[in-house]
Copies of this chain bind each other. A is one copy, B any other.
Amino acid sequence: MSLRGAGVEPRCRCIGTESRRIGKLISRVELFSPNPHCKDTEIIATLKDSGEEICLDSSAPWVRKVIDKILSR
């Protein structure tokens, strides 16, 4: 698991990020701004079929493409 837990917690949510290109499996993406509890931008994707939540790397070009694609639909 690369996700610590859902909800608002006083620390970062992600403890690792997915490196595989799973864009086609994603139904939802959440973007969290850096805040006093976590200095990182966190991106959490929810998978279409399983509903599983997976942390993504905000600096990965494929992640940005996934977000652009959702926005352009």
- Asked if A67 is at the interface (CB within 8 A of a chain B CB), the reply is yes
Interface string of A20-56 (1 = CB under 8 A from B): 0000001111111111000001010000000000000
Q: Contact: A73 with B41, CB < 8 Å?
A: yes
Q: Contact: B28 with A31, CB < 8 Å?
A: yes
Which residues of B lie under 8 Å from residue A71 when comparing CB positions?
A: 31, 41, 43, 58, 64, 67
In angstroms, Cα B27 to Cα A29, docked, is 14
In angstroms, Cα B31 to Cα A43, docked, is 11
Q: Contact: A30 with B33, CB < 8 Å?
A: no
B30, B35, B73: the one contacting A29 at CB < 8 Å is B30
In angstroms, Cα B23 to Cα A33, docked, is 11
